[in-house]
Structure 1
Amino acid sequence: MITGKDLIALGYKPGKWFAEALAHINAHALEGETLTDYLEAHRPRTIDPDPYGKPYYRNIRAETNEELENVKSVFATMDELMRTPTVVTAAVMPDACPTGAKGQIPVGGVVAAKNAIHPAMHSADVCCSVMMTKLGDADPRTVLDAAQSITHFGGGGREDRFDLPRELADRMAANHFLNDEKSRQLAQSHLGTQGDGNHFLYVGRSAESGHTTLVTHHGSRGLGAYLYKQGMRVAENFRRELSPKTKSVNAWIPFTEEIGKTYWEALQIVREWTKLNHAALHARIAAAVGKPVDGRVWNEHNFVFRDGETFYHAKGATPLADHFVPDSTDGLRLIPLNMAEPILVVRGEATETNLGFAPHGAGRNMSRSAHKRSKAGRSDQEIFERETRGIDVRFYSGFIDISELPSAYKDADTVQRQMEEFGLGTVVDRIMPYGCIMAGDWKQDPPWRKGKQRKRK
C-alpha cells in the first residue's frame, strides 16, 4: 500500500491533493511508470510571480516636490503588485497614495484580475461609498442639526437604530461567509452608524439647482471587515497551494472554485447592506426636516466590479462605466474632495487608459501622523479655526481631528485638473459646502470609558 511518506520520498510536496491521489493509486494498484505518470498528471502546478510585472496606466502626474515623493512610492508599489500572476491590467488615479507594504494596492488604484478575487485589494472597508439626496429648500443648518441627532460616528456606544430587513437577514443566513451569529450581530448593531477615519456626513447646496443636498460617506462597517478577515484566510490557503512565492497581501480566491462564487455573493450582500445603511439615514433625516427626497445618487468606490471573467478591484476609485453600477442613477457619480471643497457630481465612460474609473476624492500626500507633525507648534483649535472658516464643521466625539482637515489632503484643484487631463469623467454639478460632521478624535474619550465611569458612579 502506497502512503504519503512514499509520495514524499518520491519528491512530491504534501497537500490536499494527497488524499485523493492516494485513494486512486491504492484502488488501482498503480506502481512503477504508471504511478509516476499519474502523479505527474495530477500534482498541483504552482504559479510563480511574473519576473518583470505587467504594464499599467498612470493617470497621475506630480506637480510639487511633495507630490513627487508620493507618486514615486505609488509607482514602486504598483510595479511590485503587477507581478501577481492573476493580474491582467491596472491603472492609478490622480488621488493615488500608497498604503501598507510595497506591493499592496495603493489608494486610488484599480487592478483587473482574471477569474480571481483579491480580498486585500478591496480591503476591510468593503463597499466604502457615497450617497447624495436632494432636500429642496431645506435649511442646511436644520439638516445638519437633525443629522447630528440621528447618525453615529466612532467606535462603541452604538445601539440598535434600525431594523435589519428579514429578506437581507435570510440572504446572509444562506451564505457560508455570513451565516454566523457574529455577522448577524454586526449587521444589526452597526446599521445606522458611519464609522471613523475619513467618513463624513456633508450638507451643501447644488450649484446647478440651489437645492440643499445631503451626502454621506461610509462603508460596510464591522460586517464588511469581518467578511474581509474570512476572505483573507481563504485566499491565503489558496496562495500557499497555488502560488507560494506571491506576496501574502496579493493572495486570491479563484472564482472558478465554488468558494469563490460564494465569496462574490457575500460581497453583493454586504453591498446591499451598505446601501441600506446610507438610505436609512437619509430617509430619517429627510423626515426630521419635513422634506421629501428629491433625487438620489449612490455609488461605491471601494469594491470589486465584474466584467465577464475579469474582476476589477477598486481601492478608492469611482466606477464611471454603467455596467459596473447596476443601480446607476442617470450615469451620475459622486467624488468628494475635502470638507471645505465642493463634492463633484460627474459622469463619464470607460477608456483604454481609465479602465472605466475615476478618482474617489483628493487622497493624501503624507500619512496622518506625518501631517500632524507638520502642524507642530500650533494648537488643534487654532488649526481648526483657520482651515474651517466659513463652514460649519462638527466632530461627533467633541474632539478635533486635524488629520481630517483640508490641509491633510491633496490639492483639490490639482486633482480636478488631472481628471480633465487624463479623461476621468466630466463634472456636471458641484455640491457647494455648508458644513459636515465627522468622527473626530473619539479615542480621546472612548464610549467604553464613559460606560465604566457610569458603572463606578
Structure 2
Amino acid sequence: MTKRINTHELLKEYHSRRGYPEIAKYAASLTGELGNDPEQILEAVEKKFGKDTSPAYRDVPVPIATFGKVGALIPKNAYDQMEVCARIPPAIRAALMPDAHKGYGLPIGGVIETENAISPGYIGFDISCMVMLSVYDIPPNAFISRRKMFADYLKASTKFGVGLEFDSPRKHAVMDNEQWNIAPKVKALQYLANRQLGTSGGGNHFADIVLISRIRANVSPEFLPMDHRVKRIGLLTHSGSRGTGHKLATHYTKMAENETKATTRNVPKGHGWLRMDTDAGKEYWEVMQLMGEYALANHEIIHSTFARSSGLQVAGTIFNRHNYAWLNSKGNYVHRKGATPAHKDEIGLIPGTSGSPSYLTSGLGNPEALFSSAHGAGRPYSRTEAKRVHSEAKFKKHMEDKNISYHGVASDETIQAYKDIEDVMAIQDGLLINRVARLEPQVVIMGGRADDGD
C-alpha cells in the first residue's frame, strides 16, 4: 500500500502565506488526481497561487562572537538560542557575553545587530531594565555605625514586590511626556505607570548600599576619590519600567509576531520583528524610549528620596540601561538584552549578586562584542533548579561571614543561584572592559517573587 503524501510538510514554504488553509485544501485534493508525485503537486500549487517570494528564515546563522566557553561559562542552550536569533533575515552579526543564559527570544547576555528592524522580544519584557549608582560624601565608619538606620531609610524609599503601587503617586516630569499620547494602548497604561512610579518590583531587582573602593586611578568618574585607600558609600539600584513596560512589551512582541508571520517564512515563535520603515516599527521605537525615560525616573525618585531622608550629600550619579536598542553609526539597530554598553571609555555598572561584589567599569570598545560587556553574573541554570539546590544554611552563613544585612532575598536570587562574578569579570578584563571600582554589598533589599519577564 502506497503511503499518502504529507501535503502539510510538502507546503512548508507556504505556511506563513495568508490563505494557507485554502492552499493546503487544494494541494490535498490533488493527491487523488496526481497521486503522490510531490513535484507535480508543487508545480500545480505554484501555478494556481504563485511562488512565495517572501524572505525566509536563514539556513545558516550570521557570525556569533562568544566571550566564554560554550558548555562551561556559557550554557549550551543559550548558544543554541542565539543561533536561532542569528538566522532571522534582518540579522547582521551577534555576540554572547560571559553572563549569558537562556531567556525568551534573545538569550540574556545576548547582543544582536539588525538592519531596518527592531525586535521587541529581543529587548525583553522589562523594557529599559537598568542600574544606577549614587556616590555619597560620607566616610564608611560613619555609615557602619548607623547601618540599620540607613537600611530603614532605604526600605521606605521604594516598594518591592510584584504589582505594588503607592497610594499617593509620586511626582516626576516623565508623567507629562507627550509620548504617552502616541497610541491608545500607551495612554491606557499611563495611570498604572503613575501609581507604580518609584517602585522596584521583585525577582532580581534590588536596592543595595555598597562600599566603594577604587581599583584604577586617573579614569572617570572624577567624583569618585582617585586614591584606592579612600572608600565611599553608595546606593546601587536595579529595576526597569515596571508593569507598564511589561504590558507594552507583551503588546508589541505580539504585534511583531503577527507582522513577521505575514511577511517572512518559517520564523520560529518568539523571534518576530518590526520593520523600521513602517508605522508600527516607528511607534515601538518611540515607546521604547518613553519606557527608558520612565525607568530612569523610577531610579531618580528612589535615589532622591533616600538622599533626602538620610541627609546624605550626593557626590555624583551614573546609570546604564541593559535591556534596550540603540541606533549605531551604520544606521543599524543594536539590541542588548542583559548586556552593558561598553564603547571606548564608556562608564558601566556590572552588578554581582546579593552576596558578591559589583563593579564599576570603563569600556574598551571591542567591535567584535558589538561594543558591549556583561550586565551581571548570569545564571548557570534555571530559577527552578536554583530553588531546588538552594541551601538556606549555606546562604545565611555566607551573608553572616560577609557581614551583609539583607531583606527579601528569594532562594532563586542568592549567590548560589548565579555564576561566580569573578569568573565573568575575568573573561572581560582587558578585552571588553577595565575594572574601575569594586562595590561590596553592605545592605541588600530585594522583592522576592520574580517579575522580570525572563
Give the SS at the match of 2:368: coil
Does the C-alpha gap of structure 1 residues 135 and 112 become closer, same or farther in structure 2, counting only changes over 3 Å? same
Does the C-alpha gap of structure 1 residues 248 and 174 become closer, same or farther in structure 2, counting only changes over 3 Å? same
Give the SS at the match of 1:51: coil
Does the C-alpha gap of structure 1 residues 134 and 301 become closer, same or farther in structure 2, counting only changes over 3 Å? same
User: Aligned match of 1:430 in 404, 426, 438?
Assistant: 438
String of CA shifts for 1:53-73, please: whole Å, max 9, x gaps: 1121011125xxxx5385322
Letter in 2 for 1:97: H
TM-score of the aligned structures, taking structure 1 as reference length: 0.79
Does the C-alpha gap of structure 1 residues 173 and 310 become closer, same or farther in structure 2, counting only changes over 3 Å? same
- How far, CA to CA, are the matches of 1:442 and 1:60 in structure 2? 27
Unaligned 5+ runs, structure 2:
1-13, 20-48, 215-224, 226-230
Aligned partner of 1:334 in structure 2 is 349
Aligned partner of 1:33 in structure 2 is none
Aligned partner of 1:85 in structure 2 is 89
Letter in 2 for 1:391: N
- How far, CA to CA, are the matches of 2:57 and 2:295 in structure 1? 35
Unaligned 5+ runs, structure 1:
1-10, 16-38, 323-329, 444-457
- How far, CA to CA, are the matches of 1:434 and 1:96 in structure 2? 27
Aligned partner of 1:406 in structure 2 is 415
- How far, CA to CA, are the matches of 1:150 and 1:78 in structure 2? 38
- How far, CA to CA, are the matches of 2:102 and 2:355 in structure 1? 24
String of CA shifts for 1:32-74, please: whole Å, max 9, x gaps: xxxxxxx98xx98411011111121011125xxxx53853222
TM-score of the aligned structures, taking structure 2 as reference length: 0.79
The 5 Å alignment of 1:8-407 reads 14=18, 45-61=53-69, 68=72, 70-100=74-104, 104-137=105-138, 139=143, 141=147, 142-160=149-167, 162-165=169-172, 168-176=175-183, 179-181=186-188, 183-208=189-214, 209=225, 210-307=231-328, 308-321=330-343, 331-375=346-390, 380=392, 382-389=393-400, 390-396=402-408, 401-407=410-416
Give the alignment's Cα RMSD to 1 decimal: 2.5
Structure 1 vs Structure 2: percent identity of aligned residues? 28
Does the C-alpha gap of structure 1 residues 98 and 442 become closer, same or farther in structure 2, counting only changes over 3 Å? closer
Maintained 8 Å contact 2:158/2:198: yes
Maintained 8 Å contact 1:334/1:343: yes
String of CA shifts for 1:367-398, please: whole Å, max 9, x gaps: 121122224xx5x3x233122123334334xx
String of CA shifts for 1:130-178, please: whole Å, max 9, x gaps: 0000121161513322001221111244224543445643423331165
Give the SS at the match of 1:187: helix
- In the alignment of these two chains, the number of paired residues is 385
Letter in 1 for 2:118: I
Letter in 2 for 1:369: T
Give the SS at the match of 2:367: coil
Does the C-alpha gap of structure 1 residues 442 and 364 become closer, same or farther in structure 2, counting only changes over 3 Å? closer
- How far, CA to CA, are the matches of 1:252 and 1:342 in structure 2? 36
Aligned partner of 1:23 in structure 2 is none
- How far, CA to CA, are the matches of 2:275 and 2:184 in structure 1? 16
Give the SS at the match of 1:198: coil
Aligned partner of 2:46 in structure 1 is none
Give the SS at the match of 1:93: strand
